[in-house]
Chains A and B, each alone.
Chain A
Amino acid sequence: MPPSPAIIAEPGQDSTLVLNMGPQHPSTHGVLRLVLEIDGETVVRLRPEIGYLHTGIEKTCEAKFYQQVVPLTDRIDYLCPMTNNLTYCLAVEKLLGLEIPPKAQWMRVLMNELTRINSHLVWLGTHAMDLGAMTVFLYCFREREDILRFFEMISGQRMMTSYFRIGGLALEPPIGFFEKLKKFADRFPGNVDEYEGLLTGNPIFLMRTKGVAKLSAEDAIALGACGPTLRGSGVDIDLRRDAPYTGYENFKFKVPVATEGDVFARYVCRVQELRESIGIVQQALAGMPEGPVKADAPKVVLPDREKMKTQMEALIYHFKIITEGFTVPAGEVYQAVESPRGEMGYYIVSDGSAKPYRVHMRGPSYANLQTLAKMCEGYLIADVIAAIGSIDVVLGDIDR
């Protein structure tokens, strides 16, 4: 691959210099390349160059059965695998017209909020480390480790969980899972106080974040920002509250909004979300309904292992789903979910066969990255680092 032209300066602009940041720069959070045109220390123009992680997942999906796509979705936004699973499963269930039992819905909410905490902890740790606060990283990863253990307990995997399946969940949660989670949920607000104690009043952190990389509400909407990046600019939207899915209408939570539109505002929104999320986890634990975790749809949902070994019918269905997949009525849906980074949308087109005709993922990081140029122009190079951290991009989600 020949290097793409790095020079964006027009002739005659001798005072500016073109600087290449990334794709192997530690604070670009993956393989993001930024081409900066700088005048001294000031950024005149910024252009993100992406595509280094492009793996063609959308193309791969078209060659798989519907149920085989679920593990692929984990690998898109690898910091919130369950949110990806959820969006995909909801979209296919909408195509099928499938009803999900209440326990599966509540488990989905519970795991989804744990995923949000997990993702925000990685963001908080790395964002603070980019700005020179090393300790926060260690604190955040301590709690993240606990959450990854919960993921391992419930699905057998720490990161690529594939726990949600079309029609419900893969497995019942194991014995003792809820008790351990309850202990964690009781302890966690204290941990958030610890992070806030290190950062929120820290004068160095405030100097690096307040009034830096500002984005107005109009620009945020026009440039397609979503999630905490949009809420940090004062736009009050959260799909969990405004377009509830998978039973979010049963939960009470606040949507943190800040109006300043700077790096600190986005920090405040995310840290408040940590507290709201653990509140939702507590509510889900308190009101967890009893019942099955899989929908009653033998042609779509794999039978339990035990049934498969004892009942002829179940064995036949198992064989048919594995070898031929299941057909989905023709049509199309766009399912949007509030991921830790914003609106994650799956657009699925079905032609009535067992494989999706087209799967398109609308990545929140892809949308948020477009705002970076607007945010950084006129600020210093060091502020670019703060800005990248504040929009919380995941390159797997951008390049797909």
Chain B
Amino acid sequence: MPLAPPITDIEQLKSHPALQRILGWKPEVITSVKFDREELTIWVDKVFIREVCALLRDDRTCPFNYLADLTCVDWYPSEPRFEVVYHLLSIPQKERVRLKVRLDGGSPAIESVTSVWPSANYYEREAFDLFGVRFTGHPNLKRIMMPDDWEGHPLRKDYPVEGYR
């Protein structure tokens, strides 16, 4: 099957429950949307990420009650450098949605979603450890994979594969 071109027009995607919910609350928090390869991505203003997550979790018709994954992508050297990626799953409706937040490279920081899903704890620690993104309000933001005294954040694109010599 040949790939269909991605849809970026918000009007055509309105029927998706997650998008519908956010549009009904505050349409201005959505920076852009993309529907590509059967997956919906919503870019959200970083200031509102926790509120958007809480909103989607508490939706009555389609509650996105499960945080499937949280990770980060480094787009070095372009700016905004980091993208924090949230994959949400609605267990009752079996729907998925991907939320994305763009962060600047200087001192990347974003509000933690551990108060929405306690499961975000490890994922955020991992993103902090390997990318150096700070999650404000996280109960225990420490390195999780690397030793506590490690220098640098290994999954950043400017970090050499063999480590600093």
Using a CB–CB distance below 8 Å, which chain A residues touch chain B?
1-2, 4, 50-51, 54, 56, 58-60, 63, 94-95, 97, 99, 221-224, 235, 237, 242-243, 329, 331-334, 336, 343, 345, 347, 349, 357-358, 360, 362, 366-367, 369-370, 399-400
Q: Would you give the 0/1 interface string for B122-146, flagging 1 where the beta carbon is closer than 8 Å to chain A? A: 1000000010000000000001111
* Top 10 A-B residue pairs of the complex, sorted by shortest distance between their CB atoms: A224-B119, A97-B3, A362-B69, A1-B147, A54-B145, A51-B145, A360-B71, A242-B94, A358-B73, A223-B119
Is B24 part of the contact surface with A, judged by Cβ < 8 Å?
A: no
A360, B37: Cα distance in complex, Å:
18
Binding site for A on B (CB under 8 A): 1-3, 6, 36-37, 39, 41, 65-69, 71, 73-74, 85, 87, 89, 91, 94, 96, 98, 117-119, 121-122, 130, 143-149, 154-155, 161
CB of B22, distance to nearest CB on chain A (Å)? 19
Closest to B41 in A: A332
Q: Which of A243, A343, A347, A367 contacts B71 (CB 8 A)?
A: A347
Contacts A59-B161, A237-B91, A334-B87 known; list 11 others, CB within 8 Å: A1-B148, A2-B147, A2-B149, A50-B145, A51-B145, A97-B2, A334-B68, A347-B85, A362-B69, A362-B87, A370-B122
Q: Which residue of B lies closest to A224 (CB)?
A: B119
10 contacts between A and B (CB under 8 A): A51-B143, A59-B155, A222-B119, A224-B66, A224-B67, A243-B94, A331-B36, A345-B87, A358-B74, A370-B119
Judge whether B118 and A360 touch: CB under 8 Å: no
Contacts of A224 in B (CB 8 A): 66-67, 117-119
- Closest chain B residue to A95 by CB distance? B37
Give complex CA distance A360, B155 in Å. 11
CB distance from A156 to the nearest CB of B (A): 29
CA–CA, A370 and B1, complex, Å: 39
**Closest residue of A by beta carbon distance from B150:** A1
Interface centre among B65, B66, B94, B143 (most CB of A within 10 A): B66
Binding site secondary structure of chain A:
mixed
Contacts of A332 in B (CB 8 A): 36, 39, 41
**Nearest opposing residue in chain A for B161, CB measure:** A63
B102: shortest Cβ distance to chain A, in Å? 14
Residues of A within 8 A of B145 (CB): 50-51, 54, 399-400
Contacts of A399 in B (CB 8 A): 145
A65-B69 Cα distance, complex, nearest whole Å: 24
Among B39, B66, B130, which residue has its beta carbon within 8 angstroms of that of A333?
Answer: B39
Give complex CA distance A51, B89 in Å.
Answer: 27
Cα(A4)–Cα(B142), bound, Å:
11
Instruction: Give the nearest-CB partner of A51 in chain B.
Output: B145
- A152 smallest CB distance to B (angstroms): 33
Please, which residues of chain A bring their CB within 8 A of the CB of B67? Answer: 224
Residues of B within 8 A of A357 (CB): 73
**CA of A349 to CA of B87 in the docked complex: distance in angstroms?**
14
List B contacts of A349 (CB < 8 A): 73
Question: What CA separation (Å) do A399 and B67 show in the bound complex?
Answer: 19
Given contacts A358-B73, A370-B119, contact A221 B65 (CB under 8 A): yes
A99 touches B119 (CB 8 A): no
Given contacts A59-B161, A334-B39, A370-B122, contact A360 B1 (CB under 8 A): no
* Contact B37 A331, beta carbon cutoff 8 Å: yes
Q: A347-B71, A399-B145 are in contact. Are A221 and B66 (CB under 8 A)?
A: yes
- Interchain CB contact under 8 A, B6 and A331: yes
Inter-chain contact A97/B1, CB cutoff 8 Å: yes
Contacts of B2 in A (CB 8 A): 97
In whole angstroms, how far apart are the Cα atoms of A209 and B89 in the complex? 31
